[in-house]
Amino acid sequence: MWIYQKKLQYPVRVSQCNPRLAKYLIEQYGGADGELAAALRYLNQRYTIPDRIIGLLTDIGTEEFGHLEMIATMVYKLTKDATLEQLRDAGLGEHAADHGPALFYHNAAGVPFTATYIQAKGDPITDLYEDIAAEEKARATYQWLIDMSDDPDLNDALRFLREREVIHSQRFREAVEILKQEQQQKHFF
Amino acid sequence: MKPPVPQEYDQWLEQLQTVDFVLTELQLYLDTHPSDPQALQQFRAWTERRRLIAGQFEAQFGPLEATGGARSLHHWDWVESPWPWQV
Amino acid sequence: MFTQQKRYYPYVSPYDPCAPIRQKFYQTPPELYLGFQPPGLPQYSAREALARGTLWPALYSPYGKSSREAQR
Ligand SMILES: [Fe+2]
């Protein structure tokens, strides 16, 4: 089970009302390499990975939900109290026609989230390589987002999230090394 | 309308986020290094620090978890303080 | 030590319609180099760890405006 903590992992601050940035950030909310996809991918792979790796998948998957909440907070703050005209001018008119001011799990181009973004092959090395690739893809997405944003406060939190992908990738790489280790030989005399 | 959180809220929150972050980093590290005695020792020390800071935070600003609610006999304080995306 | 950013020089054709970018950059962050993290690596203070997003300088990967400006 999970227990909710009433706080963000890292402070999220936004300097200006800027719905255009929210439109881009939604990529990390409901996009292919976003935080929702990450959380669901790792937590689902847990059931068919050697015991030694289950804790890591559980803990990183859980942290990804915390990142999802940070992205949601950014989107919420960037669009809160924006007028329909402002949303329309920021390219969010189509979004508002369906969802009004609500958040939704789709990518920056409006494509709804799909389970086909994630994979589980039940082969431990294959799954961990998928996870390493997912972290690098998320890191790359954060780089594009930082490049496109000129909100220094927002970029501070985006840099934090990018660094977390570095750490997650590192840990998944270590998990691969753990699975490569030769088993303790049983000695029969 | 709820009043905005007091000014000290930000500093307290950041203190809490700081200890929790160290714990998260150590936790992921220990997941792949389960028998590093130094990291284990550090994790224990920070867990204790976290307990103190979280206690002080909750006393001032309300519960961090729903199970920590109902400190007051008159109202359900879990839903009273603002939510993380609102502050 | 290693650099966290590498550059390359793409081919520029006289028929390219957009103004050419002569140097392009890509990131090579520390998880590509560290291997299995050895125990006892130096750590940041707790406050700095939160600000940087990691407890260990060996895994810190700076990225920001400067990385973009380097592309000019
Ligand atoms: Fe991640």
Name the residue in chain C with its Cα closest to that of B15.
Answer: C47
> Does residue C62 have a pLDDT over 50?
yes
> Does residue C71 have a pLDDT over 50?
no
The percent of residues above 70 in pLDDT, for chain A, comes to 97
**What's the CA dihedral at A160, A161, A166, A170 to 10 degrees?**
110
Is C27 in CB contact (< 8 Å) with chain B?
no
Average pLDDT of span C42-58: 98
CA of A189 vs chain C CAs: smallest distance (Å): 35
- What size, in residues, is chain A? 189
Is B25 in CB contact (< 8 Å) with chain A?
yes
Quickly state the pLDDT bin for B7 (edges 50, 70, 90). confident
- The protein residues having their C-beta less than 5 angstroms from ligand 1 (an ion) are A 165, 168
ipTM: 0.94
- Non-local CB neighbours of B48 within 8 Å, separated by 6+ positions: none
Average pLDDT of span A10-23: 95
Average pLDDT of span A160-180: 98
The predicted structure's pLDDT at residue A152: 94
Average pLDDT of span C12-23: 96
Average pLDDT of span A160-167: 98
The H or E element containing residue A78 is helix A51-79
Cβ-nearest to A73 among B65, B66, B84: B84
Q: Which two tokens stand for residue A1?
A: 């089970």
Cα within 13 Å of Cα(A51), Cβ side: 1
Return the bridge partners of C6, or none.
C26
Residue C53 is which amino acid? G
> Does residue C64 have a pLDDT over 90?
no
> Does residue A136 have a pLDDT over 50?
yes
Q: Which two tokens stand for residue A57?
A: 């998948």
Most confident option among A181-185, B2-6, C27-31: C27-31
Mean pLDDT, chain A, integer = 96
Question: Which of the 8 DSSP states describes residue A9?
Answer: S
The predicted structure's pLDDT at residue C66: 60
Please report, for chain B, the start and end positions of each structural domain, with discontinuous segments joined by +: 7-58
Residues in A touching B13 (Cβ below 8 Å):
7, 11
pTM: 0.95
CA of B73 vs chain C CAs: smallest distance (Å): 37
Residue B18 or B70, more confident: B18
Residues in C touching B14 (Cβ below 8 Å):
50
Residue closest to A124 by CA, chosen among A50, A74, A67: A50
Structural domains in chain A, sorted by start: 19-99+117-183 (1.20.1260.10)
- Non-local CB neighbours of A134 within 8 Å, separated by 6+ positions: A33, A37, A38, A41
The residue whose two tokens read 């329309």 is: A88
C-alpha span between A68 and B85 (Å, rounded): 11
CA of B69 to the centre of ligand 1 (A): 31
The predicted structure's pLDDT at residue C72: 43
Largest CA distance in chain C: 55
**pLDDT per residue as tens digits for the range B26-76:** 999 999 999 999 999 999 999 999 999 999 999 999 999 998 766 777 888
Is A164 in CB contact (< 8 Å) with chain C?
yes
Quickly state the pLDDT bin for C67 (edges 50, 70, 90). low
DSSP H stretches of helix in chain B: 8-32, 37-61
**pLDDT per residue as tens digits for the range A114-126:** 999 999 999 999 9
C-alpha span between C36 and C42 (Å, rounded): 15
Phi, psi dihedral angles at A84 (to 5 degrees):
-60, -35
Is C47 in CB contact (< 8 Å) with chain B?
yes
